[in-house]
């Protein structure tokens, strides 16, 4: 009997551990999103250097215990709200992990490093989560920088991006001029570059319809490098879209 009880308790423990692992994994899963989608849904978008990384040990910050509060020195604000004015820079601000995000939380940021941060505002606090666009600025591509500065905000309400996984489309609604299809499957399933996310922007082009825009050879080169995984991917490119070369560094 004792042996049976020991075996049963061991089985229950393994089951509990498995359930906990599955629950944690599901909690940390994010819907695949193009950077333009991330920009449009965010309440604020900025770049800045991390000045401080302070452990959260205040019991009142429920759901965030064991995570970190970040103090960011703002370099530039690209999307504003009532607390942050576009173009402002040179001041510190505090950013907290979103409540209830304690199972995984946003990735850890390094002191002294410059980041692009797109997050939300709740109750006057700036929040970031594991599913927000948080990336080292040096890894943001030139096309993404152009989108952040000029293009993304201009087409948030006009061009809706529809996410699909290997042909299964998730309808995200339509903009005033339709939308573009974003398929992250090649990157997520096969580990290759996400060419659409890195080098393409959804804008209104000839015929007043939304299409993927990509200037230069970066997008086509990316498709060519990963050709077996990008068969049939939309490659339309505008020839009359205004050229903007003042890319941020």
pLDDT at 71 over 50: yes
Q: The tokens of 128 are what? A: 């970031």
pLDDT tens-place string over residues 78-134? 998 766 766 566 788 888 877 655 556 667 899 999 999 999 988 888 889 888 999
Which residues are annotated as part of the binding site for Zn(2+)? 28
Largest CA distance in the chain: 80
DSSP string across 162-210:
EEEETTEEE----BTTBEEEE--HHHHHH----HHHHH-EEEE-TTS-E
From the CB of residue 202, how many other CB atoms can be counted at a distance below 10 Å? 29
Residue pair 98/72 in contact (Cβ under 8 Å)? The answer is no
Q: What is the pLDDT, as a whole number, of residue 241?
A: 43
Which residues are annotated as part of the binding site? 28
Domains of the chain in sequence order: 35-138 (2.40.50.120), 141-229 (3.90.370.10)
Q: How far apart are CA 201 and CA 211, in angstroms?
A: 8
Interval 145-173 mean pLDDT: 77
Read off the pTM: 0.77
Residue pair 224/192 in contact (Cβ under 8 Å)? The answer is no
């Amino acid at each position: 009997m004792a042996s049976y009880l020991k075996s049963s308790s061991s089985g229950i423990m393994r089951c509990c551990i498995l359930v906990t692992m599955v629950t944690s994994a599901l909690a940390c899963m994010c819907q695949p999103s193009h950077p333009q989608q991330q920009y449009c849904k965010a309440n604020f978008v900025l770049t800045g250097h991390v000045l401080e990384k302070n452990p959260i040990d205040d019991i009142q910050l429920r759901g965030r215990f064991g995570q970190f509060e970040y103090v960011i020195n703002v370099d530039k604000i690209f999307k504003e709200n009532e607390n942050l004015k576009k173009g402002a820079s040179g001041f510190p601000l505090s950013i907290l992990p979103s409540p209830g995000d304690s199972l995984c939380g946003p990735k850890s940021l390094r002191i002294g490093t410059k980041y692009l941060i797109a997050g939300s505002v709740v109750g006057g606090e700036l929040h970031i989560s594991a599913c927000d666009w948080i990336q080292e600025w040096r890894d943001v591509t030139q096309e993404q920088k152009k989108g952040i500065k000029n293009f993304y905000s201009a087409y948030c309400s006009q061009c809706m991006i529809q996410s699909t996984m290997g042909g299964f489309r998730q309808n995200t609604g339509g903009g005033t001029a339709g939308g573009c299809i974003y398929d992250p499957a090649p990157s997520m399933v096969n580990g290759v570059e996400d060419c659409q996310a890195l080098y393409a922007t959804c804008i209104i082009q000839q015929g007043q319809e939304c299409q993927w825009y990509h200037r230069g050879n970066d997008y086509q080169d990316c498709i060519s490098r990963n050709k077996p995984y990008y068969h049939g991917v939309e490659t339309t490119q505008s020839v009359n879209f205004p050229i903007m070369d003042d890319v941020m560094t």
